[in-house]
Amino acid sequence: MSSNMQTAYYSMKRWFYQPKNSDDNLLSKFYTADQELNQVASELDGFDGRKEPERCTTLVAKLRSYQDKVLQLLENVVSQAVPPNRRAIRDYRVKFPDDVVHESLSGQLWFGAECLSAGSNILNREIESAAMRPLARAVTRQLDTLRVALREQYFRDATTYSDRVVEMLRVFDHMFAEFELSYVSAMVPVKTSKEYGLHQDVIVLFSETTLRAMRLKFITADMIESCDPALMFTIPRLAIVAGLLVFPEGPLRIEQDAMLVPEMFRHFLRLLSRIKELLLTLNREELFTLEKCLCRAEEPSVIMKETLGVDDISVQEYDIPVVHDYVEKLCRALPSLGKGSTLGKFSMPEENRTADSPTGLNDEELAMMLQRMEMAAHYEIRTKFRSSTDLIQRLYVCISGVADQLHQNYASDLRSILKCIFDMHSDTSFPAKETAAQATTSPAVAIPADPSTSHYRQNLLVSAGERARSTTSKDPPAWIPDEQALLCAACDAPFTFVRRKHHCRNCGKVFCQQCSSNTIPLPHFQIQRPVRVCNNCMLYAVPFSASSPETTTSSSSTSQPSPSAPSSTTNV
């Protein structure tokens, strides 16, 4: 009896205690936004969209805007109710392209889940759509149930969350994160774990280079605090020198397999090998001068005329190895070689061997021989240059050329690396907005049965596939002229002879290959063959394929409605 009275009390409260627009309570805002969404969903469920496609498209656009609002409030509720250590970690987002993650991503994911649940497929992604469909249905079921539970929680107690609601929020958070990773990975290129690991290695190299440059007073803390634009050129240049000499086992170890080298430097392996050969021929004063040149805009010949200031730092502080240190280290390592080693098998020629000669070279003789050979090889390299200034000038041009190519060919990656460097080494760095409360995949979830088909889901299919079925001729957008596009519209990378310009057929903007590698048909423009589109259009503007009414009806007849899964139009 008490349970019935409690139910009647909450029913009466729903009638007389509707939230006001001035209410700042988070659950109150969610309730209001969810009611507005339900009104649009009810209107969308009240007619056959196949007979009124234009009205259907207009309502679906309105529905998506309300979905964005509801999901933003729902994310705030999750952040408030679920402890950070129980939330899904979204570290995988660092693998996404820069132009993918923004405020409307959650709304697009919800709309995509609804379309996949209703039986539609992403154009040219039929296999991926079939793989994601069970998870999409689970997401929509969980989301519908959660919306009902939050509306009930508002009338029970709008200031706290019950354990049941908190657990539902946690499950939804993990489930939605798993669907986000699957959906975005199917739509746009995403870094693999190996590629991301190499990217992290480059960040470490740049970070160590920055610390070393500050210790040697090449750059100052004030330059980092103010994000001095000169550092965008200085740090990559110094990182090349440090990666080749100071950290030879790091990501710029040119002796390793090319696929283990970060993609940013993979195309410069031969040039980097030549740069390392020249660097090993320099003495400490020349190396110091070279790095000073790389930190400044002046040519090496100008700095060579100035006081180098080598006395400002001690030999111990300047940690760049020169050829003499290199050979000395090699000689010290020789006594540890075993008799069966390759070096131990070298012996004197038979014609030069006397009765008193030993059968093989001892370690000391071999070390001296290797030292002479090494010095002779480096001396031969130096004889190709008229002076020390010419050698430094050549190295300056080569190193600066590689670093400048990184700005042109990998602007997006380099921008993210430098942003990390500034954040790590700035005393006033901003606190991270996303911590352990964000990210990746969740444990396996139980997949519920197929939802029942209604006009709501049918109309979603009608709207999603309207452009795919459109027979009305519609002109594609005007292309931006090539001469007006100097940078990629997504990553801001400048176009070069190697980085070609590509137009997105859906929006008409100009992109590089990396930001427009998707191909899909565009039936709304009467383009039936796959054509190039950018990542943003692929994720946010790509039409879903249309499902035939027969297919929809057939699928609905085999699925039974679940009483525990209220539809999107359920009102409380």
Taking only the tens place, the pLDDT of each residue in 162-189 is 999 999 999 999 999 999 999 888 888 8
Alpha-carbon span 112 to 48, nearest angstrom: 21
Check: CB of residue 169 under 8 Å from CB of residue 161. Answer: yes
Question: What are the φ/ψ torsions at residue 511 (nearest 5 degrees)?
Answer: -135, 165
Average pLDDT, the chain: 74
Please compute the mean of the pLDDT values over residues 485-492 and round it to a whole number.
Answer: 84
Q: Where are the alpha helices (DSSP H) in 191-268?
A: 193-215, 221-225, 231-241, 263-266
Residue 22 neighbours by CB distance under 10 Å: 6
Alpha-carbon span 338 to 343, nearest angstrom: 9
Nearest by Cα to 184 from 126, 234, 112, 280: 112
Position 374 pLDDT exceeds 90 = no
CA dihedral 221, 227, 231, 233 (to 10 degrees): 170
Position 544 pLDDT exceeds 90 = no
Alpha-carbon span 173 to 82, nearest angstrom: 9
Nearest by Cα to 464 from 133, 116, 66, 68: 116
Check: CB of residue 97 under 8 Å from CB of residue 130. Answer: no
Alpha-carbon span 1 to 209, nearest angstrom: 73
Q: In sequence order, what are the beta bridge partners of 518?
A: 533
Question: What are the φ/ψ torsions at residue 59 (nearest 5 degrees)?
Answer: -70, -35
Task: Enter the tokens of residue 123.
Answer: 């154009």
Question: What are the φ/ψ torsions at residue 20 (nearest 5 degrees)?
Answer: -95, 155
Residue 237 neighbours by CB distance under 10 Å: 23
CA dihedral 220, 225, 230, 232 (to 10 degrees): 110
Q: 45-54 pLDDT, tens per residue?
A: 777 767 777 7
Per-residue model confidence (pLDDT) at position 88:
92
Nearest by Cα to 212 from 325, 320, 303, 307: 320
Per-residue model confidence (pLDDT) at position 459:
52
The residue among 167 and 312 whose pLDDT is bigger is 167
CB neighbour list of residue 461: distance below 8 Å, 6 or more residues apart: 115, 118, 119, 120, 544, 546, 547, 552
Q: Which residue shows structure tokens 């796959």?
A: 530
Domain ranges in the chain are 2-190+437-459+549-558, 193-347+360-409, 473-540
Per-residue model confidence (pLDDT) at position 112:
87
SS3 544: strand
Alpha-carbon span 188 to 534, nearest angstrom: 9
Per-residue model confidence (pLDDT) at position 82:
93
Task: Enter the tokens of residue 357.
Answer: 């000669």
Q: Which fold has domain 473-540?
A: Herpes Virus-1 (3.30.40)
Alpha-carbon span 353 to 356, nearest angstrom: 8
Please compute the mean of the pLDDT values over residues 109-138 and round it to a whole number.
Answer: 87
Q: 318-349 pLDDT, tens per residue?
A: 655 554 455 445 444 544 433 344 433 334 34
Q: What residue type is assigned to position 395 of the chain?
A: L
CB neighbour list of residue 426: distance below 8 Å, 6 or more residues apart: 224, 225
Alpha-carbon span 116 to 111, nearest angstrom: 9
The residue among 274 and 325 whose pLDDT is bigger is 274
Task: Enter the tokens of residue 263.
Answer: 């993609």
Residue 173 neighbours by CB distance under 10 Å: 24
Alpha-carbon span 568 to 264, nearest angstrom: 47
Please compute the mean of the pLDDT values over residues 456-484 and round it to a whole number.
Answer: 62
SS3 570: coil
Confidence of residue 364 (pLDDT cuts 50, 70, 90): low
Please compute the mean of the pLDDT values over residues 60-68 and round it to a whole number.
Answer: 83
Q: What does DSSP assign to residue 518? A: E
% residues pLDDT > 70 (the chain): 66
Position 552 pLDDT exceeds 70 = no
- Measured at the alpha carbon of residue 250, what is the angle toward residues 247 and 254, in degrees to the nearest 5? 100
The answer to pTM > 0.75 is: no
Alpha-carbon span 254 to 251, nearest angstrom: 8
User: Which range has highest mean pLDDT (230-239, 308-317, 421-430)?
Assistant: 230-239
The CA-atom distances, in angstroms, between 312 and each of 133, 309, 315, 317, 564 are 66, 6, 10, 10, 75
% residues pLDDT > 90 (the chain): 14
Alpha-carbon span 29 to 70, nearest angstrom: 9
Nearest by Cα to 71 from 103, 100, 39: 103
Please compute the mean of the pLDDT values over residues 381-408 and round it to a whole number.
Answer: 81
Please compute the mean of the pLDDT values over residues 54-70 and round it to a whole number.
Answer: 83
Alpha-carbon span 367 to 365, nearest angstrom: 5
Task: Enter the tokens of residue 356.
Answer: 């008193």
SS3 522: strand
Position 308 pLDDT exceeds 50 = no
Residue 263 neighbours by CB distance under 10 Å: 15
- Measured at the alpha carbon of residue 198, what is the angle toward residues 203 and 253, in degrees to the nearest 5? 90
Q: Which residue shows structure tokens 């370690």?
A: 363
Per-residue model confidence (pLDDT) at position 571:
33
Per-residue model confidence (pLDDT) at position 546:
52
Q: 183-234 pLDDT, tens per residue?
A: 888 888 888 888 888 888 999 999 999 999 898 888 888 888 888 888 888 9
